[in-house]
Amino acid sequence: MPAAAQDVYGLRRERAVLVTPEGDLLDYIPADGSVRAARDRQGRQVYIDSWGNLIATVMPAERYFARYGTRDYRRDRYRPVEGYPETSRDYFPPAPDEYGDDLTTGSVPDFRSREPGAVDRAELPAPLPGDGYSDSEQLPDSWGGEDMASLPDGSMNSEMVPGPRFPTATPIGKKTSAEVTALQVFLDREGFSPGVIDGRKGSNVTKAIEAWQLATGQTLDPNDTDWILEQLHLNGGMPFTTYEITAADAAGPYVASIPEDYAHKAALPALSYTSTVEMLAERFHMDEAYLKEMNPGVDFTIPGTLVKVINVGQPKKAKVAKILADKARKQLLAYDETGALIAAYPASIGSADTPSPSGTVTVERIAFNPNYTYNPKINFQQGENNKVLTLQPGPNGPVGTIWIALSKPTYGIHGTPEPSKIGKTQSHGCIRLTNWDATELAKMTSQGVTVEFVD
């Protein structure tokens, strides 16, 4: 980090950012004396090079994230910022120059060669039959497959488990989608998942805030965007970044569509992604519609295309000793051996017709990229299928990319082919998470971990 970078951190503490003439966020100033601070004719603090060229302007963070521009308090209306489209629904801040590039060269490093702390969710690749699934496992019929609900039996402790009391979250006020995105990215990096990042406030975001407050003992003001930006800068960089679509990304393999009928699903060589958009959205924890909204008119099938994505940071790393599935909150909570809450994920947990159990079970086994066995004798009935079927691995499989088997037969914690519905819909009895949340949890969990269901 250049020595003069401290100047920028100081500005951040004063709730301001450096914005280049092109609208990009500047993360540091060269320490070689080639750039100096000055005042322009309007009295604003600016940075110019030795030739007098404008490098950056000091701007309040509120303005950087403003809807349609900045607020003109004298006329009580918004006026557009020069160079920003007034007709757009919202302005998505450009990706910051977070790589430490030399400003005099304008070079852009390869995304894939970034240092630790950068985004690279290569853990969920598009599935290839016989390739990339060295850890694939066949789920035995006794595990039952997707969301099998049955009456409690002697395999679990049916004693009621009390749930924690959560500090009430401050309501989110009128915020732009970019500001809400910054909040979602902050929570995601902290290990308190808001589910898919979509720039929208909702119950999953509120639950994540409350879990973060319970874990830290602090109060999070979701309306203090300046504080959120400062935390992001200190932990992985700003919420938006860019990604260059590779030839492998464009090639897939992909399937044209995922059929509803399980017999047709079983005929596919892999339950792969259906498009580059779906693959990228999952890699960067995004809602597909939001990814396309952030990149209007972009063809995601062309290698070399630069797209704007979410800078999600690195997966949380810790050792989980206990998992609590709160059915009322539709949230899964993970604790370490000291009893400290270390992660939380929105979840779909059972339904009125096919409820999840109550009481305590343990983790029996963890399968990454599992096959899926459908058995109508012990599973729910799907369509007209009355025979045992084996579905191949893939992110669009019934249990997604993860199956965490529980000591209660036929029950488990698993991924999903529809991440945008997590925490908003019901399941057939198991615990559904997004594929990336399920992967993060699985890598922190081991056999014997206690799982408690809270009513």
The answer to whether 438 and 415 have CB atoms below 8 angstroms apart is: yes
Closest to 379 (Cα-Cα) out of 401, 394, 363, 399: 399
Between 20-34, 56-70, 242-256, the lowest mean confidence (pLDDT) is in 56-70
CB-CB contact of 345 with 383 (8 Å): no
pLDDT of residue 123 exceeding 60, the answer is no
Q: How many whole angstroms separate alpha carbon 386 and alpha carbon 88?
A: 52
Q: Which amino acid is at 96?
A: P
**The pLDDT value given to residue 145:** 43
SS (H, E, C) the chain: CCCCHHHHHHHHHCCEEEECCCCCEECCCCCCCCEEEEECCCCCEEEEECCCCEEEEEEEHHHHCCCCCEEECCCCEEECCCCCCCCCCCCCCCCCCCCCCCCCCCCCCCHHHCCCCCCCCCCCCCCECCECCCCCCCCCHHHCCCCCCCCCCCCCECCCCCCCCCCCCCCCCCCCHHHHHHHHHHHHHHCECCCCECCCCCHHHHHHHHHHHHHHCCCCCCCCHHHHHHHHHHCCCCCEEEEECCHHHHHCCCCCCCCCCHHHHHCCCCCCCCCHHHHHHHHCCECHHHHHHHCCCCCCCCCCCEEEEECCCCCCCCCCCEEEEECCCCEEEEECCCCCEEEEEECEECCCCCCCCCEEEEEEEEEECCCEEECCCCCCCCCCCCCCEEECCCCCCCCCCEEEEECCCCCEEECCCCHHHCCCCCCCCCEECCHHHHHHHHHHCCCCCEEEEEC
447 CB-side CA count, 13 A: 4
* Short-list 429, 421, 337, CA closest to 144: 429
Burial class for 363, CB neighbours closer than 10 Å (0-12, 13-18, 19+): buried
Count of beta carbons in the 10 Å neighbourhood of residue 264? 14
Q: Count CB neighbours of 439 within 10 A.
A: 21
pLDDT score recorded for residue 62: 60
Where does the pLDDT of residue 443 fall: very low under 50, low under 70, confident under 90, or very high at 90 and above? very high
Structure tokens at 402: 């993860």
Q: Is 345 a residue whose pLDDT tops 60?
A: yes
Confidence of residue 39 (pLDDT cuts 50, 70, 90): confident
Query: Mean pLDDT highest for which of 56-65, 88-97, 134-143, 443-452?
Result: 443-452
The structural domains of the chain, with segments of one domain joined by +, span 5-93, 141-237+315-454
Give me the amino acid identity at 277.
Answer: V
- To the nearest whole percent, how much of the chain has pLDDT over 70? 69
Span 393-404, average pLDDT? 94
Cα of 235 vs its chain's centroid, Å: 15
CATH superfamily, domain at 141-237+315-454: L,D-transpeptidase catalytic domain-like (2.40.440.10)
Contact 56/66 with Cβ under 8 angstroms? no
Quote the pLDDT of residue 50.
66
pLDDT band with cut points at 50, 70 and 90 for residue 60: confident
Is the Cβ–Cβ distance between 286 and 309 less than 8 Å? yes
CB of 334 closer than 8 Å to CB of 323: yes
pLDDT score at 185? 98
Please say if the pLDDT value at position 93 is more than 50. Answer: no
CA dihedral for 96, 99, 105, 111, sign (positive or negative): negative
Whether the model pTM is above 0.85:
no
Residue type, 314: Q
In this structure, of 14-23, 111-120, 240-249, 381-390, the range with the lowest mean pLDDT score is 111-120
**CA–CA separation, 335 and 155 (whole Å):** 23
Residues 147-171, mean pLDDT to the nearest whole number: 60
Query: What is the end-to-end Cα distance of the chain in Å, rounded?
Result: 50
Q: Which two tokens stand for residue 272?
A: 């792969």
What's the pLDDT at 51? 67
Task: Report residue 264: phi and psi, to 5°.
Answer: -70, -35
Which residue from 251, 75, 122, 95 is spatially nearest to 178, judged by alpha carbons?
Answer: 95
Q: Grade residue 377 by pLDDT with cuts at 50, 70 and 90.
A: confident
pLDDT band at 77 (very low <50, low <70, confident <90, very high): very low
If one counts every other C-beta atom within 10 angstroms of the C-beta of residue 357, the result is 25
